[in-house]
A = this chain, B = another copy of it.
Amino acid sequence: MSTKTRRRRPEARPDEILDAALSVFVEQGFTAARVEDIAKRAGLSKGAVYLYFPSKEAMLKALVEQSAGALAKAAERLISVGAPRDPEAALRGVIFMMITAMTDPDISAAPRLVLTEAHRFPDIAAHYRDQVLETARRAIETLAADGVEAGTFRPVDADMLMRCIGGPCLGHMMLASAFDFHPKNLREPVDVADALSDLLLHGLKPREDARCD
């Protein structure tokens, strides 16, 4: 019911406000973001957002918890599914998913926000680290172990692999969002993901064994 008039059942309000808050926070940064702008973008007055959230910081925390929950769940799913059959395909899938997510400004907004604000909110940083990063690390560890067992991966350090998968995705995103700096030839997300997967799997040095893929 899109009542143009005053809301009767305003249970959607908190999410509307959080959507608006996320976009303003990402654009302006948390400190420079004005609650009045958030309100305007959500179609309310400033006073009204304080009916739903006790403070600006509470909106930030709610956003972070939302995002962390979703990411942690995704990582947990990766762990529980595992990839004993085809670790390479699983790795390619993860990379494609990450590049796709990072390329979409809406999806990458919350992680970007966390990345830029975490160090000033120690509890947010700790929450994200424990919920998301540790879980992601375990997911990578599982994937790597499955690959080694299947003989398709050689053993490598999990933290390094994590940084070698997430780092390029992160870099790709930050270069685009902060500097508007894009690859010259790799135009589509799928091309970026494939190039990353290939480089990660086969390495920079040529293979003496003829078979590469």
Q: Which positions in A face B, CB cutoff 8 Å? A: 27-32, 88, 91, 114-120, 125-126, 128-129, 133, 147, 151-154, 156-161, 163-164, 166-172, 174-175, 177-181, 183-186, 192, 195-196, 198-209, 211
Contacts and interface: CB of A to CB of B under 8 A. Distances in A.
From A152, A159, A207, A209, residue with most partner B Cβ within 10 Å: A159
Nearest to A148: B206
Contact of A204 (B120, B161, B163): B161
Contact of A199 (B27, B156, B186): B156
Nearest to A185: B157
Contacts of A115: 174, 178
A156 B191 CA distance: 13
Contacts of A119: 27, 177-178
A31 B183 CA distance: 31
Contacts of A158: 184
Contacts of A201: 203-205
A123 to B, nearest CB: 12
B153 A205 contact: yes
A158 B126 CA distance: 36
25 contacts: A27-B120, A29-B116, A31-B31, A31-B32, A88-B205, A91-B204, A125-B180, A129-B179, A133-B175, A147-B204, A152-B205, A152-B206, A153-B206, A156-B204, A160-B195, A163-B172, A163-B175, A163-B196, A164-B164, A164-B200, A166-B167, A200-B203, A201-B204, A203-B205, A208-B208
